[in-house]
Structure 1
């Protein structure tokens, strides 16, 4: 992992939390390291448990299942935390929160 770090702001119904993510580290691994409660399942991009939406910032997404993340969702900046690598600071919200009409 590189020395560059990005700030990730995770906005949920309960609270907003900020944490740091190393360059080359996925958003889920950084969240777990910082005790931020992003749901986790397979960690391989197949289950969709860690689905979230990037509200602001640039990122790269690794390969993941189209069953877990449809093309339509990808176009709306949904991604899987386990397959998301920040390129700038990010603001993210849980995918489930959006479907429940939360934010």
Structure 2
């Protein structure tokens, strides 16, 4: 299966995403706590991102959350876009608080 690499600009984190899955589905695998996920159908606007580089296919998104001008500028809903190449994105919606916050350091292995 083909996978594309998606990089989150603010954190430098990356994840693999198949062309058959939305960028949001791939992002959820990062395991960050508190990533707000709404309707998953393009109607709530929670997962708004800006695609800085790369290509994707898209499905219908509510104009209440993504205007035609925003869409033309690469501002889309992560639940409604599917990568067709590697993608670099910026989190701009309600997800930014949780996706872009620093992760706590990993616990050190206990001495044996």
Flag the structure with higher strand content: 1
Q: Distance in 1 between matches of 2:41 and 2:93?
A: 19
Q: Which runs of 5+ in 1 are unaligned?
A: 98-103
How far off is 1:39 after superposition? 3.6
The equivalent of 1:83 in structure 2 is 80
Q: Say whether 1:72 aligns with 2:66.
A: no
Larger radius of gyration: 2
**Secondary structure of residue in 1 paired with 2:71:** helix
TM-score, normalisation: structure 1:
0.82
Q: Which runs of 5+ in 2 are unaligned?
A: 95-112
The equivalent of 1:21 in structure 2 is 17
Q: 1:81 to 1:36 in 2, by over 3 A?
A: farther
Output the aligned Cα RMSD: 1.7
How far off is 1:22 after superposition? 1.2
